[in-house]
Amino acid sequence: MSTVLDIPAHEAHVVRVFAVVEEAGAPLTDAEVMAALGAGDGLRGNEIELFDLGDLGAMPLSDYLAEGHGIARADLAPMRGQLDGLAGRVLIVPSRAFGGAAMVLRVGRGLRLVARFEEEEAAPVRFEPLPAGGAAGSVSPPAKARGGTGAARLAAVGFFAGLAVLAGIVVWLAGAR
């Protein structure tokens, strides 16, 4: 029997966690796990995470979801025991994987929906105003720019003097023939 999940168009900030159910001695390939989602070819595979919980080391899955997916710890609290008690592999499917399209998932054998969470929306960044007088006054050009005009003049005079010497040599050689 399969579980049917209707994903609405433009769904955002939702994360679904699936346990990968494998029989002893008959592990599923990654392709079989993805096929068990029953979504067809409409998913963005680069947005989906399939991994062994042992890869998290000492970090519990609930902490991974809080830190890695922005799920509020208060939302995770009622599920913490079940999430942290999972073993084997999990499949994490964020809404981004649907690319804004409406979709029907027919979750088949090999996957079990554990939970659906909403990501916390990040608060907009706010900047404090600068202290009064922080931008008062005028900006003067750097000292190098003001005092560097003499060096430019000297270089121009040297160039034209060298050009005059070169022209004199050419004229002298032309008259010597």
What single-letter amino acid sits at 73?
R
- Shared domain for 80 and 158, answered yes or no, is no
**What percentage of the chain has pLDDT greater than the value 90?**
53
Tell whether 141 is covered by a domain. no
| DSSP 8-class letter at 25 | T
User: Is a pLDDT exceeding 70 seen at residue 149?
Assistant: no
Predicted pLDDT of residue 127: 65
Residue 78 CA, distance from chain mean position: 29
How far is the C-alpha of 48 from the C-alpha of 123, rounded, in Å?
25
Query: Strand, coil or helix: what is 113?
Result: strand
The pTM (predicted TM-score) of the whole model is: 0.67
Tokens of 21: 């159910």
Tell whether 82 is covered by a domain. yes
Number of domains in the chain: 2
- Shared domain for 29 and 110, answered yes or no, is yes
- Shared domain for 60 and 106, answered yes or no, is yes
- Shared domain for 23 and 77, answered yes or no, is yes
The answer to whether residues 15 and 120 touch, using CB atoms and an 8 Å cutoff, is no
- Shared domain for 169 and 92, answered yes or no, is no
The answer to whether residues 112 and 83 touch, using CB atoms and an 8 Å cutoff, is no
User: Is a pLDDT exceeding 60 seen at residue 17?
Assistant: yes
- pLDDT tens-digit profile of 96-148? 999 999 999 999 989 999 999 999 866 555 667 666 655 565 666 665 555 55
Predicted pLDDT of residue 110: 92
User: Is a pLDDT exceeding 80 seen at residue 2?
Assistant: no
Predicted pLDDT of residue 175: 77
Alpha-carbon separation of residue 120 from 85, 159, 175 (angstroms) = 24, 67, 89
- Shared domain for 100 and 153, answered yes or no, is no
Question: Which of 22-31, 63-72, 113-122, 168-177 tops mean pLDDT?
Answer: 63-72
- Shared domain for 111 and 59, answered yes or no, is yes
DSSP for 40-67 reads TT-S-GGG-EEEEGGGGTT--HHHHHHH
Predicted pLDDT of residue 7: 92
Closest residue by Cα to residue 20 from 54, 46, 44? 54
H helices of the chain, where?
Answer: 30-36, 61-69, 73-76, 80-84, 143-147, 149-175
- pLDDT tens-digit profile of 60-89? 999 999 999 999 999 999 999 999 999 999
Cβ count within 10 A of residue 89: 20
Cβ count within 10 A of residue 136: 6
Q: Which range marks the domain in which residue 32 is found?
A: 3-118
Is beta strand 111-118 parallel, antiparallel or unpaired with respect to 103-107?
unpaired
| Among the ranges given (6-10, 11-15, 23-27), the one the predictor scored with the smallest mean pLDDT | 23-27
Tell whether 144 is covered by a domain. no
